[in-house]
Amino acid sequence: MTTSALTWFARHEIRLAWREWLAMMTAGRRGRDRIAIIGLIVLAVFLHLPAYAVIGRFADLQAPLDKSSLIVITATIFLAWALMLSQAIESVTRVFYARADLDLIMSSPVTLANVFSVRIAAIALSVTAMALLLSTPFVDVLVIGGGIRWFAVYGVVIAIGLSAAAVAIAVTILLFRSIGPSRTRLVAQILAAIIGAGFVIALQIAAILSYGTLSRFSVLTSDKAAAFAPDADNIVWWPARAALGDGEALLLLLAGGLVLLGAVMVVFSARFADTAISASANAIPARRDSRTKAFRAGSRQQALRRKEFVLLRRDPWLVSQSLMQLLYLVPPALMLWRSFADSSAAIVLITPVMVMAAGQLAGGLAWLTISGEDAADLVATAPLPSSRVIRAKIEVVLIAIAVLFAPLVIALMFASPLQAAITAAGIITAAATATAIQLWFRVQARRSQFRRRQTSSRLATFAEAFSSIGWAATAALALAISLAALVSGLLTAAIVAATWTISPRRG
């Protein structure tokens, strides 16, 4: 394959990546490109505010740093890397399974290793580009507050983007080799979902066990962490030093990222072709469900509910999402458990976490049951009114939420009955609101489109997130300041009412 052909293929890959990204931003609707780009610019400008709040105070940091600062910066970079890794695993899986051009490429007279090297590079590029975009507000804040030396952060982002893409490709291909194509899809999805959250949650758990607080910074800035940390000239601190403007560390980091990506290209580009072939050829192996039970009697709604529960149980996306939610619940559950031993006031923090998690999970479940109906025609031609179909689906969402959260609420009841009652009310309200929003903004979609559900309606996504946050804040405030809770509750109700007013299903 000639250099010009490779350049042409690289352009093709970049165009595909750009269009996939644009389709995700515009929910696949034509004529919305300009709106999406303007929206992104507005969001980027808006993001400078939280960026300032989070990172503004670090702009004056100068090398050499004490160990605590080095630990905090390194942990933050590692968290960013974990999130990029998560996104890269998702991208690689999508390239294996979703691209419809593998047959075309593999039947063409090109050297597959070269073509797939370009594809690997394109994945790395798209992951890095997204990270650069998201890091811009933070870098801006640092540059404005601390000078141009902070531009070095972009270099760190590029280096960790390249290495995250390289590791993602290696991990995914090794998963293919060890557990086969169909399991890889599920495992990679779950991995991608939990990798980013795992690091933060692990820190929270350490913080709870050591200091009785949910703040992960208490671990990172502790004397114990400093005592365990290596010396200041250790390789571990290269990313932190590079971010602070150490040119040598930055060059080494970039070189490391490039070498890692190059190594992955050399080792895996040939296997990439084999893996892609097995992914496309070895569709989905037959999974048998050896149920010998007879058909069950019951009402039409019972049939619907049974079907929904079976599908939810067998949904890999939902499994990964639920795992995420359950992971997020581990720290509050741990706090609850500790609170039995010492009556820490920090137990109050459990309520908003649980309410927020319930709202988010209910939103996902409601999308799957209400919008993600794979046999929409069948259900629509069934002899029962659509209102009864919707009711059965809502019941499924609320039952699932009740089953997941009831044990935690019951446990909370032993520690504080009032808090348990407020938490239960918050969970019910948040779940009902998220379900209602999904109902108002419902669209007909395949369950497999779950990953992109946020893009079908940005408004629904934001409304769902804001209402969950609002109800979580209301529940937390109800435990301490009644008047503030009332204000927060009214504001959240106003958000929900405004969402209803502009929803397509009004009336």
Partner 1 sequence: MNSDESALQLRGLTKRFDRLAVDALDLTIRTGEFYALLGPNGAGKTTTLRMVAGLLRPDAGTVSVLGIDALNDPVAAKQITAWVSDEPMIYDKLTPLEYLEFVAGLWGIDPAVSEPSARDLLASLGLEPHLHERCEGFSKGMRQKVALAGALVHDPRLIILDEPLTGLDAVSARHVKGLLGERVRAGCTVIMTTHILEVAERMADRIGVIASGRLVAEGTLAELRQQNGKNDTSLEDMFIALVDTEAAAA
User: Footprint of partner 1 on this chain (CB under 8 A)?
Assistant: 283-291, 294-300, 302-304, 306-307, 310-311, 314-315, 374-385, 447-448
CB of 20 to partner 1, least distance (A): 23
- Cα-Cα-Cα-Cα dihedral sign, residues 450, 454, 456, 462: positive
CB of 103 to partner 1, least distance (A): 16
CB of 368 to partner 1, least distance (A): 11
In this complex, which beta carbon is closest to partner 1, that of residue 149 or of residue 306? 306
Residue 430's closest CA among 393, 477, 475?
Answer: 475
In this complex, which beta carbon is closest to partner 1, that of residue 288 or of residue 506? 288
Sequence-separated (6 or more) residues with CB below 8 Å from residue 169: 88, 92, 120, 123, 264, 268, 272
CB of 181 to partner 1, least distance (A): 12
CB of 363 to partner 1, least distance (A): 21
The DSSP call for residue 375 is: T
Contact 208, 214 (CB under 8 A): yes
Chain centre distance of CA 330: 17
d(CA 140, CA 85): 24
Task: Say if residue 64 is preceded by a cis peptide, omega within 30 of 0.
Answer: yes
In this complex, which beta carbon is closest to partner 1, that of residue 224 or of residue 300? 300
d(CA 242, CA 153): 7
Residue 352's closest CA among 483, 476, 490?
Answer: 476
In this complex, which beta carbon is closest to partner 1, that of residue 98 or of residue 310? 310
Contact 105, 261 (CB under 8 A): no
Sequence-separated (6 or more) residues with CB below 8 Å from residue 231: none
Residue 160's closest CA among 130, 190, 140?
Answer: 130
In this complex, which beta carbon is closest to partner 1, that of residue 140 or of residue 395? 395
In this complex, which beta carbon is closest to partner 1, that of residue 248 or of residue 374? 374
CB of 280 to partner 1, least distance (A): 14
CB of 17 to partner 1, least distance (A): 28
In this complex, which beta carbon is closest to partner 1, that of residue 104 or of residue 297? 297
